[in-house]
Amino acid sequence: MTDRSLPMVQPLSGLPERVTIWEVGPRDGLQNESAVIPAEVKSEFIRRLVAAGLPVVEATSFVRPEWVPQLADAAEVMAALPEAPGVRFPVLVPNLRGLDAARAAGAREIAVFASATETFARKNLNRALAEQMTMFGPVIEQARSGEMPVRGYVSMCFGDPWEGAVSPAAVVRVCDELWQAGCTELSLGDTIGVATPGLVHDLINRLTTAGIPVAALGVHFHDTYGQALANTLAALQSGVTTVDASAGGLGGCPYAKSATGNLATEDLVWQLNGLGVHTGVDLDLLVTASDWLAGVLGRPSPSRVVRALSPSS
């Protein structure tokens, strides 16, 4: 690659010096693919992401195969994880059975996936919103008793395709339930990509006012309306230092068809590099990894930075 991969740098005041990128490509990015991707391809993708310097790579999910067939090979993928001291490989689990399977496969930290809205809770979890903690509570308790970190994803934090705008108070309530149950980190999901920066500032302020430390918050933006990078900047200005992203911009949500791709990791790294914010990620290697996967999938990467910097462009 050329020096096109080096953006001009001009820091902004009020931003963190370092941001942790929580890479979700191997799990969230690939779960919507209609053709089943071989475990060896997923494992190679993870190895390339680790080589690019990503500190957290969400490897897979221990859900029932009929729910997400793409992730039926979770144990095989876990068995092939690279030796990478200091790199974290969290996995998603829906219940105690998933937690047991994750532990047996060697997982050291997990995530649970909650909803901020009634309709999505019923569609995604097959239970009422008020009942979701009866499923997640025991999972969090058992994981924490074994000193496993637990991330709590909260979906539909800004908008729901069935219910419309989501009350910030409802989001704060679900986040507080997860926090009080023992989650060590919370990820705020804009599942259908409708948030704008003012909404992001407002929600983070409400959460910190409710007693949830900003250091425990991450953000997970979808780019449906082209707002993911703007919303990320708003989150950083509010003190957030963990940002979810998917290499190549892959992903969506199998239970919300209006949820298009995740924020592309390459686009995020380009912006952070230009702001002088450290990530530890080698953008050239990351672009190469996503370009390779795009070739495997047989279509161009959705990431603008990958398209701009790919050797084939």
Instruction: Give the residue carrying structure tokens 């309530």.
Output: 173
CA distance linking residue 22 with residue 226, whole number of Å: 20
Out of 157, 175, 183, 253, the active site residue is 253
Q: Are 136 and 178 in contact (CB under 8 A)?
A: yes
Structural tokens at position 24 = 């979700």
Q: How far, in Å, are 7, 54, 308 from residue 3 at the CA level?
A: 8, 21, 12
What phi-psi label fits residue 51: left (phi over 0), alpha (psi between -120 and 50 degrees) or beta?
alpha
CB burial string 208-240: b at 16+ within 10 A, e below: beeebeeebbbbbbbbbeebbbbbbbbbbbbbb
User: Which are the contacts of 264, defined by CB distance < 8 A and separation ≥ 6?
Assistant: 223, 245, 246, 247, 248, 249, 290, 301, 302, 303, 304, 305, 306
* 253 a catalytic residue: yes
Q: Which residues are catalytic?
A: 253
